[in-house]
């Protein structure tokens, strides 16, 4: 529209002219942002997001919570540098939520470190739009910034923040959000089609409980079987549900 509106300052010319755009606009910036969006689309369409979520779910029974937090934050932080933080948050967090349901663990145990790590965009310009803007504006300096400058300066920060983030999410998650507790009832209610809370006393993740989440096996006949945290299969027609 600005190419067609007449300018009162420059009679006979539009408000915006192509020579001005060609001189002032950084088309490399546009290509960098567009390339990041294309890569993020490939991240989803290739199934890489689902593969990462499944991998996290398989690690849950075998790793202590701190090591699990460290693994999630490291993987998500590295992915953010390539696919951008917004894209990772939009594509990966729903998958991780489904992975927590599959592993029958508190969703916050996986979602908290993943969400925090989606902001750790310190390594490459493609990690976040603000980095791209800094790279573009540096062209006006006597010595413009290069990818190598971002990498060399961002690598120490990234390594430190991965460790600090793992420690803080492990400690604060347990203190503030009780993320180390068994699969909560509110999370089961949010997945009403595939999760039921049943009266099944036992030990879940080192804690004694009277009722716990049971993940419905949708492949069973009439979906009458469900799976507890320890892998035990229950017949829903024989157990008492907790509402």
Q: Is the pLDDT of residue 65 over 70?
A: yes
d(CA 233, CA 223): 12
Q: Are 50 and 94 in contact (CB under 8 A)?
A: no
Percent of all residues in the chain with a pLDDT value above 90, rounded to a whole number: 16
Q: Is the pLDDT of residue 240 over 80?
A: yes
Give the per-residue pLDDT at 33: 63
Q: What is the pLDDT of residues 194-238, one digit of tens each?
A: 888 889 898 888 889 999 988 887 776 677 888 888 888 888 888
Give the per-residue pLDDT at 166: 94
Q: What is the pLDDT of residues 10-62, one digit of tens each?
A: 787 888 787 877 777 666 666 666 666 676 677 667 777 667 777 777 778 77
With cut-offs at 50, 70 and 90, classify the pLDDT of residue 167. Answer: very high
Give the per-residue pLDDT at 49: 65
Cβ within 8 Å of residue 82, ≥6 positions away: 39, 124, 126, 127
Which range (13-27, 72-86, 137-151) has the least confidence? 13-27
Reading the block at residue 137, the tokens are: 């504006």
Percent of all residues in the chain with a pLDDT value above 70, rounded to a whole number: 89
């Amino acid at each position: 529209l600005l190419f067609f509106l007449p300018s009162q300052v420059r009679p006979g010319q539009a408000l915006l002219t192509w020579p001005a755009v060609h001189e002032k606009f950084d088309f490399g910036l546009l290509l960098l942002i567009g390339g990041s969006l294309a890569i993020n689309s490939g991240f989803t369409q290739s199934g890489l997001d689902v593969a990462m979520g499944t991998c996290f779910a398989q690690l849950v029974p075998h790793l202590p919570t701190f090591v699990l937090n460290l693994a999630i934050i490291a993987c998500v932080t590295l992915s953010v540098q390539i696919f951008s933080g917004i894209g990772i948050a939009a594509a990966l967090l729903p998958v991780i939520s489904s992975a927590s349901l599959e592993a029958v663990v508190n969703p916050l145990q996986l979602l908290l470190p993943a969400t925090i790590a989606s902001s750790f965009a310190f390594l490459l310009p493609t990690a976040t739009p603000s980095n791209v803007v800094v790279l573009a504006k540096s062209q006006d300096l006597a010595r413009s910034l290069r990818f190598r400058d971002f990498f060399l300066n961002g690598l120490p920060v990234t390594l430190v923040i991965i460790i600090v983030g793992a420690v803080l999410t492990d400690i604060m998650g347990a203190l503030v959000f009780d993320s180390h507790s068994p699969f909560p009832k509110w999370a089961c209610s949010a997945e009403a089609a595939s999760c039921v809370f049943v009266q099944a006393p036992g030990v879940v993740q080192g804690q004694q409980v009277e009722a716990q989440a049971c993940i419905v096996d949708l492949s069973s006949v009439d979906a009458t079987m469900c799976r507890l945290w320890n892998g035990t299969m229950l017949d829903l027609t024989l157990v008492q549900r907790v509402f």
